[in-house]
Structure formats: C-alpha cells, structure tokens
Structure 1
Amino acid sequence: MTVTALPRVPYTGTARDAELEHWRAVARRVADALAADALARDRANAQPFAEVRLLREAGLLDLLAPAEFGGAGGHFETAFEVIRILAAADGSISQLLAYHYINQSSIAFYAPAEAQAAWWRRTVEERWLWGDSVNPVDPALVLTREGAGYRLNGAKRFSTGSGVGEVIVVNAQVEGTGELLAFVVPRDAQGLEIVDDWDYLGQRLSASNSLVYRNVRIEPADVLGPVTDEPVSTLLTPGIQLAFANFYVGIAQGALERGKQILLGRKNAWFLSAAETYSQDPVFQRTVGELKARTAAVAALAEKLGRRFDALLSLAGAVTQPQRAELAVAIAELKVVATEAGVEVANRVFEVTGSSSTQSGVGLDLFWRNVRTHSLHDPVDYKKIEVGAYFLRGESQPLSLYT
C-alpha cells in the first residue's frame, strides 16, 4: 500500500447530549417497530427492503453525513449507540445499518478532499443504503485497466447489504500494478449478479449475499480512491470492529429484556424453592444479576470507546500510527469481552426462562442465533493475541481489514 495523506475528514468534535438523546429516541421507535415481528421476518428470510425503508424514513441512513451536504452531521458515538439499540430488537437490521455507516464513511476515509462533497451530496440526495463487497479472505477480484477506467471480474461472498443497497463498496487490486482501489458499484450495474444465497443460522436479514462480477465497467467517477496505510484512513477497520462490539452488546441487552419478560410471566416456582415465583427465587435472581452486570460493564466500555473514536478521528491527517494502534487495541479488548458476553448471555438466559422458552414460537433463540453467527466473522482468539502482544511487547498487528 502507498502512503497518501488525506487533508481532512468531515468529522469534528464529539457528540453533545442533545444529539445523543434525539437519535436514541429515533432508534427506540424503530426498534419497537422491528421487535413487533422480528421472529416472523427472520423465518421468512426475505430481502429486507421494507426494513431499509423504515431506516430511511427515520433519517438513520444519513446520521453520519455532514450537515453541510444535507445530512444530520452526527457522530460515530451516536451511530454506535443506535446500532446497539436496534440490535436489542433485530440483530440483522442492526448489522445492515452498522455496515452502511462504515461503508458510507468510505467517502471520508478514501476519497480526496476535493471529491468528497459530490459523493456526500449524492448519497444524501439519492438516499443511498451502502452495501459492501470487500471480504479479504475470499477469491480475489480482477480489476483490469481499460481506457480511462477498468473492468471488474470475479466473485465475493458475505457481501452485507448488497441485496438491498443502492450502491456497493468494492476493494480490488489493479491487475499488473498491485494498487488497491476502493470504488462504488450500483446494485443494478450491468454484469453484476446478486446471488440470493444468504441462508444461515442467524443474521438472516442482513442481505449478505454472494456477488458475481462479469466485465462490470468501472468508470473513473466510480472510484473513491486508493486504500492506503495513512493512519486516519486505516481507522476504518477499528471502526468496523467497534460497530461489531456494539451490536453484540445490543443483542445481549435484548436477550436479557426478553428473558426478563418470560421470567416475570412464570407464576409458579421450582418445587424445592421457598420462593413463591421463579422471579423471586435467589437462584434465578443471581443468574440474571450476573448477566446484567456483565452486560452493563461491556456497554459502558463501548460508550467510552465510541467517544474516543470520534475524538481521534477529529484529528484527521494529524493522527499518528501510535495513536491509531493504541485505539485499535482498546477496541480489540472490547471486541473480546463483547463477543463473550453476547454469546454467554444469549445462551444462559435460557437457564432462567425454562424449557418452555425453547418453543419455536417464543423466539428467544433468535438472539443466540444472531450473535453466534456474526461473532464468527473473525476469530476472537486473534483479538486476544492482538491485545496480549501489545500489552507485553508493544507490538501491533499488521494492517488489514481485520486489524
């Protein structure tokens, strides 16, 4: 990768209370709507066009778009909290929005300053949802120079949002030069096949389809810019990991809330218990208390790092590699505990809700299926190694789309 300094990113300062409160209220309204039929929609496993309309109408797609270009001018801390709130109701749609925020911000991380205004105006005016096709462990795409532009061939799996997004961010190396470019492909581009094959255990409405590119034309105007190792540009990856951690926490919070409803609905008690109801039994109170406390601690760490992310991002081209590395490791720490808390809470909540809560119509399993599926995105053990290597020896992992 080549080093190209970006003069600025269009993000400044940190979120104020009024901003946070406004978008929390918006997110809760959307979450309530999603929660009403989350299980039925999960079972239908249809492309989430209706859910995207709900996000769009609520103004959530443009939360991070700069106000000067028609967006809400919000901060990542706010976006991460929105992700967390939505995940408590529907992990799939939370993932869809989380990836949109990161993909849309490719404008800031990859496009030169003089080109950003046009991109921001288009995404706001045309109300785009941004999908992606950047999975680095999949077979490589072939980007061949042709005249002033390029031709794209190949395939990618796990392309979140591609089934419903108006545009798709793609990363590919230029054949013969090794230059890695980020560019945008419309969902209806000639030669692009969207394979409707996302049929997995969880996150079923994340529109994470496979894509096949057959001589797709990439014009110069479609190119955002080169993917570089300039420090502020590489903050995109810690941002992705921070988004993941937030929806793991949100899923844990949702599982706890649903478990609470079920537990309070149990009118009797275990026959050996002196309590009148299960919710009054210290055994069940202890389990719930343990899971609640752990989730609250991880949520507090997520909130702290959301603000730190905005603060560092505000430095733009002045961000140093040591600053970037320190924040990336702090986010890796969060990723470890958020993954473990999310999976544990979504699993152990069944201990207090009883065998009847495993009925298919109850839907408590949806939280576990969602967090278990996405938590396998990249091995959490390597995040532990990342944290340990930095703590013991000050060593940072090589830059990648995972670190």
Structure 2
Amino acid sequence: MTSTASDTRAARSPWHGEADAAELERWTGVAERVAATLQQDALERDRANAQPFGESRLLKEAGLTTLLDPAEYGGGGAHWESALLAVRILARTDASIAQLLGYHYINSANIALIAPADEREQWYRRSIEGRWLWGDSVNPVDPDLALTPDGDGFRLTGTKRFSTGSGVGDALLINAVVSEGPHAGRFAFVVLPFGHEGVELVDGWDFLGQRLSASNTVRYHDVRVDPEHVLGFASDDPFETLVTPGIQLVFGNLYLGIAQGALEQARRLTNARPNSWFLSPAELYRDDPFVRRLYGELVARTAAVEALADRANRSFDRTISLGHELTAEHRAALEIEIATLKVVSSDTAIDVANRVFEATGSSSAASSVGLDLHWRNIRTHSLHDPVDYKKLEVGAHFLTGVVQPISLYT
C-alpha cells in the first residue's frame, strides 16, 4: 500500500479483492470433507435434537471458523465468497450446522465492522487463539433487554429468543440499547464468553427444522458487562451496517444449499427405483417423461439461483473491500441484489424440497428415508423474516429507486 487512500481502506476492511481459483478450491474441498462427515448421521442427529457441541468442534478443527480472519493474526485470510460457498456446501447435508457457521461468520465480522480500530487486533487474536465459535442473541423483534450503566461497565437484564449458536458458542454477541447515562440510546454490541455469570441458556429449541442450530432462548439475570466485553456501538455508517446484507446473503446460500441437497438425495432415490407407474410408457421410473420433466424444471430453477448467488457473493467481496470508500449508494445496490437473491432462493428451495416427493414416489415419505429433513429446514428458516417484504423492497426500488431504511432486516 502506498497511497493514503489505500492505507485508510486497508485499516477499515481486512478483506480486499476477490477469491482466486486456488483459494476457492482449497476451502471448497475443506467444506466438502466436513459435509461428508456430517452426512453420515445427519438424520439421526437431527432427531436427537441435542446441542451440537461435537459438530462445532468439527468446524473448528477443519479451520472453517477462522476462514475469514486475517492471516497476519493466524486466520485463514480468505474471502467472503469462500465462506459463503462453505455454508452452501454444508447446507446440502446439514443445514443446521451450515446456519451455525454462517451466523458465526457474520457475528465475528463485527470485529471489522464495529470495533474501534485500535481494538480489532486484540479481538481477532482472542477469537483465533481461542478458536471461538460466535453465537448471537440479537433478535431485533424481541427487544426485551435492558443495558444500564454500572460503574465503568453495564448491567444486562432481560430475555432474548432465537439466539442462534448460543447453546454452543464460545462467544455470545448481544445487541441492547443503553438505557441511560452518556451512552443513552446507543445500540451496543456486547460479547460475553460461554458460561458467563448470570447468563442462562434455555435448552428449549424444539422446532420443525434447523433443530441443531442451537437457537435457544437466553435469559440475562443482572449480568455484569465489563468494558472488555463491549465490542462497540452501532452507527448509520454504510460500512458498519453491512452486517444486514451479509446475513441475508448467508440466507440465500443456505437456502440454495438446501435445494441442492434435496435434489441430490431425490436423484439417488429415483435412480434406485426399479419400476415405473403402471400407466407409464417407460420401464424404469427414472425414464418416465413426467419424472424427467419435473427434474428438468427443478434443476433449471436451482441453477438460476446458483448463478445469482455466485454473483451476489462476489459483489459482497467487492463492496466490503471498499472500507471507508463505501457509500450509501454502494450499500443500497448490494442490498437490492441480495434481496433479489433472498426472494428467489427462498421460493425455489421451498418448492424444490416439497416437489421432490412427487419425483420420488410414496416410498420416499418413509421416516427412515429422511427426505423430509430438507423441507423441514427450509420451511423453518425461511420464516426468519417475511419474504413478501423482500419482494416489496425489490419492486419499490425497481419502480421508483427508493431504498428501505436501514435496519437489522434491510
């Protein structure tokens, strides 16, 4: 770096440029090996509905949790495209663990997005050396938290539901608004270690899908928050607010991976069936023209989502590398591109995971087959925020150029 502008940008964003072929090949291979391990007992683990401690260790040992961290501090030094591909690959076999990893990437990215410049190195070193998996407790539509000044720190009380990774996360990222004092009204980012005094993890996550995402309820009983636990405070700076397009992009890749996984399992089931329907002109089930037509439609639509996701992943890398040079216009363009992906990935994955049963026949509905896992996962997570509002967001921008106000959903 020789210019002042380049120095400033580098100080703001640890990510520069785009992933090359060697990087993508390396991390794709790592993710595929982890996915193969997860696939061996994905259905059994889903039904056991236990906290995924073993799965989180698998992610750490493979190096996936430090993939995005700066190489100068011991991290993988990779790009967002590599991280998002890893999420997509894991989602093909175990979308719960893919969710854990994707949320970890976004939560830990707040070191670069939110933490003061002179504190980032210590946060990175603690996270990398401790092999932290970052969970969160940030559900914005469940704001029942009070953060009140207490000496040089704060006291945290209240309850948060849908806290992904909280059951196994080494670090728990918490959002709360300061109630009074010099920081009154500011949106704080607090990071507490697993087992911190006064933090109660309620192991009650028993939903239709994403059962191993450890998205528990967390209760805070007069929790002491020291200055060292405060990552930073939110602002309306475009760079700092990339966390929301980032998590929505994780969703798009998660949903695409689920659709791809459903298609792959359905293909194996279809090819294994010996006989076609008695009215069919074909001898083998896979040769039936209606079966082939259905697969043709679902495969083509999924491929279109993949092309859009690949483009959005690269756009995110290009945008976040701008650092201080990032403008509101850059962020808005990225937001709309990712919202478009959210619409088509959500609708396509739900349809694919549902209609593959038509292509595989009644025997595929047996509990032992587990084809339902893909549908249960996408049906559950796609409810995170209403996709209809993403459609309105994209449509309004197309017609009038308007961009939605920045929030933890836009």
TM-score, structure 2 length as denominator? 0.96
Q: Which residue of structure 2 lines up, in the alignment, with residue 96 of structure 1?
A: 100
Uncovered stretches (5+) of structure 2, i.e. residues with no partner: 1-7
AA aligned to 1:82 is A
Matched residues in 1 for 2:269 and 2:92: separation? Answer: 16
Matched residues in 1 for 2:14 and 2:221: separation? Answer: 35
Q: Deviations over 1:76-122 (max 9, x none)?
A: 11111000000000010000100000011110110011110000011
Q: Secondary structure at the match of 1:337?
A: helix
Equivalent of residue 33 in structure 1, options 16, 34, 37? 37
Matched residues in 1 for 2:322 and 2:254: separation? Answer: 26
Uncovered stretches (5+) of structure 1, i.e. residues with no partner: none
Equivalent of residue 87 in structure 1, options 91, 95, 108? 91
Equivalent of residue 193 in structure 1, options 196, 200, 205? 200
For residues 381-400 of structure 1, the aligned pairs below 5 Å read 381-400=388-407
Q: Which residue of structure 2 lines up, in the alignment, with residue 315 of structure 1?
A: 322
For residue 140 of structure 1, report the CA deviation from its aligned partner.
2.5
Q: Deviations over 1:134-170 (max 9, x none)?
A: 0010142100001110010000000000000011001
Q: Which residue of structure 1 lines up, in the alignment, with residue 340 of structure 2?
A: 333
Flag as ranges the 4+ runs of structure 1 deviating above 4 A. Answer: none
Matched residues in 2 for 1:362 and 1:199: separation? Answer: 21
Q: Which residue of structure 2 lines up, in the alignment, with residue 247 of structure 1?
A: 254
Matched residues in 2 for 1:257 and 1:9: separation? Answer: 37
Q: Which residue of structure 1 lines up, in the alignment, with residue 373 of structure 2?
A: 366
Matched residues in 1 for 2:228 and 2:199: separation? Answer: 18
Q: Deviations over 1:357-383 (max 9, x none)?
A: 000000000000000000000000000
AA aligned to 1:174 is V
Matched residues in 2 for 1:294 and 1:80: separation? Answer: 20
Matched residues in 1 for 2:144 and 2:221: separation? Answer: 14
Identity of aligned residues (%): 59
Q: Which residue of structure 1 lines up, in the alignment, with residue 5 of structure 2?
A: none
AA aligned to 2:197 is Q
Q: Which residue of structure 2 lines up, in the alignment, with residue 119 of structure 1?
A: 123
Number of aligned positions between the proteins = 399
Is 1:284 equivalent to 2:291 in the alignment? yes
AA aligned to 2:362 is S
Q: Which residue of structure 1 lines up, in the alignment, with residue 72 of structure 2?
A: 68
For residue 224 of structure 1, report the CA deviation from its aligned partner.
0.9
Q: Secondary structure at the match of 1:105?
A: helix
Equivalent of residue 223 in structure 2, options 206, 216, 220? 216
For residue 215 of structure 1, report the CA deviation from its aligned partner.
1.0
Q: Which residue of structure 2 lines up, in the alignment, with residue 202 of structure 1?
A: 209
For residue 232 of structure 1, report the CA deviation from its aligned partner.
0.7
Matched residues in 1 for 2:126 and 2:77: separation? Answer: 15
Matched residues in 2 for 1:314 and 1:347: separation? Answer: 38
Q: Secondary structure at the match of 1:349?
A: helix
For residue 291 of structure 1, report the CA deviation from its aligned partner.
0.3
AA aligned to 1:12 is H
For residues 229-268 of structure 1, the aligned pairs below 5 Å read 229-268=236-275
Q: Deviations over 1:57-85 (max 9, x none)?
A: 11100000110110000111111100000
Q: Which residue of structure 1 lines up, in the alignment, with residue 161 of structure 2?
A: 157
Q: Deviations over 1:275-294 (max 9, x none)?
A: 11111111101100110010
